[in-house]
Amino acid sequence: MNTRLLISIGIAAVLGLVALPFFTTGYVIYLVNLLLVFIVLSLGMHLVIGETGQFALSHAAFYGVGIYTAGLLNNAFHPPFILSILLGGTLAALLGIVIGWLALRMRDIYLALATFAFGEAMQWVFLNWDAVTGGPNGLRLSPAQIFGFQLVSDKHAFAFVLVLGLAFLWLTVRISRSQLGSAFRAARESETAAVAVGINVRGIKVLAFALSAFYAGAAGGMYTLFASFIHPESLGFQTTILVLTMVVVGGMGSVAGAIGGAIVFGLLSELLRQTLSFQEIIYGAILMLFMMYAPKGIFATLGGRLGLKGFSRG
């Protein structure tokens, strides 16, 4: 019964999204594109924090790497956008491997501080490497294209963003249900027990960082499909806190939580766009309240009550 319910909800959601461009305005399509990017970002953080238990705060940096890599490739060479997205995700994953390896000896607050420092260092690079990133003036992005067809509007990009978002969702659920997902959760619950059953905990942690970074870099590439401009200030700690809030409030260790949190807080970020100075305070307050009084989050609890396998905490 629960499987049928899950399939029905999934089919209805996909059909609704496919029909969306025929009934809505350009702004609504832009907003849905942005929410799909947030979902991929949230799923990536879910892998490193929710599945593996590594409290990393470098997600915005990897997201920025993906945006600038894909954007600069589009501006200079106009390759098929799939190639730009893959290269952006791959470069972010390579950085994720380095950061993951350096962070192996760190845990909890020390890991959070180290990854936060890396994120701040990368934003400094984005702000000051004028010749490449445009520095504080930002970077204009040429329209992405595939086989000569340019994506010059949100509606043009929508189908591709939707397919990529669904692909990352499918991949995340597959990972969660696989032996790799079980190894992630074993390392999260007890490293000693994981080692005792033959799991390479060090390798698992680095792989989680790499996968998480790849998701973030690919999300950055997806953003370039419908965006025409990027400014480094949008790639700072505020973005990391926003994605962290999505995962924690949605429900750590839950795919449904990551998706639900991305939708709710993606919409909230749009509502608060004119109050940038208060956003970090609002997100921080929400994050603290949920960590203190509802640590399992909203959507993980709902998924667990519905008995949706793979959508409640593993």
Q: Which residues of the chain have pLDDT under 70?
A: 1-7, 276-277, 299-314
Q: Does some domain include residue 55?
A: yes
Q: Which two tokens stand for residue 234?
A: 């949008």
Q: Is residue 72 part of a domain?
A: yes
| Angstrom distance (rounded) from CA 202 to CA 216 | 21
Q: Is residue 123 part of a domain?
A: yes
In total, how many domains does the chain have?
1
Residue with the two structure tokens 């892998």: 47
Is residue 112 in some structural domain?
yes
Predicted local confidence at residue 312, as pLDDT: 52
- Contact predicate 57/178, CB 8 Å: no
What's the confidence (pLDDT) of residue 24? Answer: 82
Note the pLDDT of residue 303: 57
Q: Is residue 304 part of a domain?
A: no
pLDDT reported for residue 1: 42
How far lies 285's CA from each of 263, 273, 282, 291, 314, in Å? 19, 17, 5, 10, 27
Q: Which pLDDT value is given to residue 21?
A: 79
Range of the domain at 54: 24-235
Q: How far is CA 68 from the centre of its chain?
A: 16
What distance in Å separates the CA atoms of residue 260 and residue 69, rounded to the nearest whole number?
Answer: 28
